[in-house]
Amino acid sequence: MTIPQPHDDPATFWEAHYAKMTKPSGGRPSAILVRFADGRRPGRALNLGCAQGDDVIWLARRGWFATGADVAESALNAARQAAQQAEVSDRTHFEWHDLGVSVPDGKFDLVTAMFLHSPGKFDCVAALRRAAEAVAPGGLLLIGSHGSRAPWSWAVPDTVYLTADDELAALDLIRSKWRNLFVGPIERVAKGPHGQTATVTDTVVAVERH
Ligand X SMILES: C[S@@+](CC[C@H](N)C(=O)[O-])C[C@H]1O[C@@H](n2cnc3c(N)ncnc32)[C@H](O)[C@@H]1O
Residues that bind ligand X (CB under 6 A): 10, 14, 30, 49, 51, 70-72, 75, 97-100, 114-118, 122
CB closer to ligand X, 75 vs 135: 75
CA-closest candidate to residue 94, choices 52, 128, 129, 123? 52
Q: How far is the CB of 146 from ligand X (least distance, A)?
A: 8
**R_g over Cα of the chain:** 16
In angstroms, the Cα distances linking 138 to 18, 37, 190 are: 35, 13, 32
- Strand arrangement, sheet containing 197-209: 92-96, 65-70, 44-48, 108-114, 135-146, 197-209, 178-191
Helices (runs of H) and strands (runs of E) counted in the chain: 6, 7
Q: Is the Cβ–Cβ distance between 187 and 201 less than 8 Å? A: yes
Biggest alpha carbon–alpha carbon distance for the chain = 50
Residue nearest to ligand X (CB): 49
CB closer to ligand X, 79 vs 88: 79
Q: How far is the CB of 9 from ligand X (least distance, A)?
A: 8
Q: From CA 134, how far away is CA 70, in angstroms rounded?
A: 16
Q: How far is the CB of 54 from ligand X (least distance, A)?
A: 7
CB closer to ligand X, 51 vs 164: 51
CB closer to ligand X, 154 vs 182: 154
Q: How far is the CB of 122 from ligand X (least distance, A)?
A: 4
Q: How far is the CB of 111 from ligand X (least distance, A)?
A: 13
Coil, strand or helix at 63: coil
Q: How far is the CB of 136 from ligand X (least distance, A)?
A: 21
CB closer to ligand X, 6 vs 137: 6
Residues in the chain, overall count:
210
Q: What are phi and psi of 70, to 5 degrees?
A: -155, 160
CB closer to ligand X, 33 vs 168: 33
